[in-house]
Amino acid sequence: MKYSESLKKNRDFQLVYKKGTSFANRYLVMYIKENQLQRNRLGISVSKKVGNSIVRHHLTRLIRESYRLNEEKFCCGYDIVVIVRVSGKEQGFHALESALLHLGKLHKIMRSEENEKNINRLD
């Protein structure tokens, strides 16, 4: 089941940066802001400092896929912006996925185990 969509407009990114809260780890920075919707909107930003367009698009796809595979673990109703740091350039899928989940836990936007069991019963 799809709970999210992409965050595309510059003004939406800027709003999350200004009004949202952020946490960071070695490879990623995550900003979140409540959006009063029943779904999440995910935006991914990779600076030119990280690498050329091939590297940046590869990292974007890795982050988007790791979010997609773990989408049901995130609570709904947030705009999420993920920024890849230069140190994330050399990392593989599993390192970026664990960094993403770590930041979700820091922001307390991960569903608890009890909620997951209730959701699975409804399916």
Query: pLDDT tens digits, residue range 70-102?
Result: 999 999 999 999 999 999 999 999 999 999 999
Alpha carbon of residue 63 to chain centroid: 7
Task: Decide yes or no: CATH 3.30.230.10 for domain 4-122.
Answer: yes
- pLDDT in the model for residue 4: 78
For every residue of 6-38, DSSP letters joined together read E---HHHHHHHHHHSEEEE-SSEEEEEEE-SSS
- pLDDT in the model for residue 121: 43
Distance linking the first and last C-alpha atoms of the chain: 10
